[in-house]
């Protein structure tokens, strides 16, 4: 369930990136000088950081590090 929610959050973020709703509008100018389309994408960057924090907190592949600690093994294959 938790994993499904995280996948959903990432997918939602991807959809939110295609923000056609601010396509042709510059106003309002946030803080009096930042066009709304640019401000939206700056907020998107912050949201992406938060989703990454969720991924790292709840879906970190810790088993990979344990497997890696087993040390170097195996060789190169040949055709």
Partner 1 sequence: MIPAAIVFLYLAIVVYIGVFAFRKARGKEEVEDYFLASRSLGPFVFLMSLFGTNMTAFAILGSSGHAFNNGIVTYGLMASSSGLVIPLTIFLIGTRVWALGKRFGFITPVQLFRDRWECSHIGTVIFAVQAALLLPYVIIGMIGGGTTLSVISGGRVPFWLGAAVVALAVMSYVFFGGMRGTAWVNTFQTILFLLFGTVAVVVIGWGMGGFRAASEGLLASPLASLLTRERISPYYFFSYTFIPLSAIAFPHITIFCLTARRMAQFKKTVIFYPVCIMAIWLPCVFLGVMANRAQDVPRIEEKIEARRTLAQQGKAMPPEQRDELRAKMDADDVLLILLDRYAPLWLAGLLGAGVMAAVMASDSQILAISTMFTEDVFAHYGGRERFGEAAQVHLGRAFVVLLTIPAYFIALNAPESIFALAIQYAFSGFAALSPLLVAALFWRGSTRWGALASTLWVAIAVVAVAVFQAAVPAPAPGPPVVAWRLFGLEALARTPGGTAVFGFLPVVPMVLVSALLMVVVSALTPRPGAATLARYFPDRTR
Q: Which of residues 31-70 bind partner 1 (CB under 8 A)?
A: 32-35, 37-38, 41-42, 44-46, 48-49, 51-53, 55-56, 60-61, 64-65, 67-70
Q: Count CA atoms closer than 13 A to 68's CA, side-chain side.
A: 5
Is 7 near partner 1 (CB under 8 A)?
no
Which CB, 5 or 14, lies closer to partner 1?
Answer: 14
Q: In angstroms, what is the minimal distance from the CB of 8 to partner 1? A: 14
Q: Please choose, from the candidates 1, 12, 21, the residue with its C-alpha nearest in 3D space to the C-alpha of residue 50.
A: 12
């Amino acid at each position: 369930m938790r994993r499904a929610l995280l996948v959903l959050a990432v997918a939602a973020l991807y959809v939110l990136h295609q923000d056609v709703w601010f396509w042709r509008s510059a106003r309002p100018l946030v803080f009096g000088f930042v066009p709304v389309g640019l401000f939206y994408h700056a907020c998107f960057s912050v949201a992406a950081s938060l989703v990454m924090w969720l991924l790292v907190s709840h879906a970190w592949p810790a088993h990979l590090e344990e497997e890696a600690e087993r040390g170097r093994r195996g060789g190169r294959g040949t055709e």
